[in-house]
Structure 1
Amino acid sequence: MAKSPEGEHPHKAFGWAARDPSGALSPFHFSRRENGDEDVTVKILYCGVCHSDLHTAKNEWGFTNYPVVPGHEIVGVATKVGNNVEKFKVGDKVGVGVLVGSCKRCEPCQQDLENYCPKVTLTYNSIGQDGTKTYGGYSDMIVVDQRYVLRFPDNLPLDAGAPLLCAGITVYSPMKYYGMTEAGKHLGVAGLGGLGHVAVKIGKAFGLKVTVISSSSKKESEAINKLGADSFLVTSDPAKMKAAMGTMDFIIDTISAVHPLLPLLSLLKMNGKLVTVGLPDKPLELPIFPLVVGRKLVGGSDIGGMKETQEMLDFCAKHNIAADIELIRMEDINTAMERLAKSDVRYRFVIDVGNSLSQ
């Protein structure tokens, strides 16, 4: 007979969980495993609210296993380390991102691309190596194998740095892999939300010319004057879209809602690359004709491996890049989720777990 979430492991934990497709979150008692020789126990101080959390809480992708404690943009302090842990010590500032386990033996793992491991263990809504369910960062503590723990740079703010553990690496990794690092090239960023606004900052740090592509002009001033974008393109303006055809080397598509790809493909130069990192809950239509006649490429990317994620954190620390956030208390999470569904956030909610999560 399966044990209850409270009794699976020895360490009592407390968080907020969704229990059905309504997505409503409420207090939840569960347990974490004992700190093993390779483990780091983390007291969670902050956790970002990703659009994936909303999709999962509402079972919009169809594979949620309730109850689910979301959260994979975790920053905290190491409170215990195992006997074989050498990279971390008690008191270190650390981060935990989207994954907490992999097989460590397959080709992706051997190439430090654990995120593509066929047996990857996600931070929540996944089954761990011990056969029990994983619970995420909307909680007071977590125990993680040292391989999947990140050193958090001293000069990154803990709260505004938390979203980098998903939003940051989700845009940094494709920029590196698809060659979006050559100064002077033109990058389009489709969608100016949690992912998009970080993509603007990282793109500028690489020396790219950055244009924000949006369905509305309401964020234009903020994109240019605050985030540093070079220009702003509204897709509902036919004249400006026509003028911008064939001007961009790359586009990162961060949009998580269903949307047409043809307008984006038309903006690319010959040999241009459109890389999608948003995850709509329904398939998108991909027109082939513009790919063929323009020798264009459509690709995807899914977060990054641990080595690259640490590289991204260090890069952001060097260039003073953090997310623009709204800090909320845990009890405000359902209101935040409702606002997130309406794209009513500038630009990432972060839960002040350490100061607000109480039983």
Structure 2
Amino acid sequence: LPSAALFYLPLKAPMRVRGVLVVDPGDTRLSTIPELRRLLETCATQIAIALERIHFVSVAQDTLLAMQAERMRNSLLSTLSHDLRTPLTSLVGAAEVLASQLAAQCATPCATQATASAASLHAQALIIMRQARRLAHMVDDLLDMARLQSGQVTLRHDWQSVEELVGSALRAVDPAQLAQHPLHIDLPADFPLVRADAVLLERVLVNLLDNALKFTPPGTPLGVRAQVQGAEALLTVWDQGPGLPHGRERAVFEKFTRGEPESSIPGVGLGLAICRVIVEAHGGTIAAANQPMGGAAFSVRLPLQTAPQLEPAGDAEREAETGKSPAAATVDPAAHALEPTAAPPTSPELP
């Protein structure tokens, strides 16, 4: 300000302005000396650069500490998971054997007091078995997340059939829970093969289906849809449950984050985080959104590549003539097998 008694010089650093340097010259006549003003401007520039360097050093230190803490946590989780896995495996196996033996005792025709006692013990053994399996699943999630983030998992890319991946995922989820929901599968007959790790991509579908089964009330439909959009394969797992809390559509993919923080649904908040890590390792993306008709939809996008020809054209024509390649299918929850239908099932609009 030419008429002011003070000098106001902006501290312009390369990235942004860091502040203002105020100088009292003591004598207003000094403001008319060009050499003095150039000297002050040089000083202001050096001060701004120094402040910016201090800022970036602080940011680098914070980032380094965060990385070290993350590595320590992953190492701890991996160690604990390894140590817990062996006794949990033994516990699950023992509970299954006990439940099987007690079930055989309950099946005896004579209704004695011993049989009634065996029935009560069988119910308790089933509780132990279910809870041990749930705990083992949590430990597996912790171990898998630690492995994925440490780079210990190598992707085994190969051409995969989406229909086979969906079928394997359906067989892997809890059949008792799956039987409580009308299940819709929409897989085009000519859907292209995807190049992916079959085990890991199946894990993504299993986690998404498990998530839908956990938060969707019995009797409400859920399903899987596959589409081709441009150069991407779009796989969507949808449900008609309560949906996602508003504003938390992205947060649900963070580690130890759940849609409802105070939810009574069991889990540690790693299933969706594992899905994101696996999908991104394949060069894809995963997103969640609420549907206009209610419920949530989780969409996985994977890049498509030119797949090799797996069968002669004549075989494909014979399949088309016999009608063995349906455009849509429904799933028998009891058998977990895809069966053709005359018309595609009604499914809600997906984002």
Output the TM-score relative to the length of structure 1. 0.21
Of the two structures, which has the highest relative contact order with CA contacts closer than 8 Å and spacing of 6 or more?
Answer: 1
Q: Which has the larger radius of gyration?
A: 2
- Using structure 2 for the length normalisation, give the TM-score: 0.21
Higher fraction of strand: 1
Where is the helix percentage greater, Structure 1 or Structure 2? 2
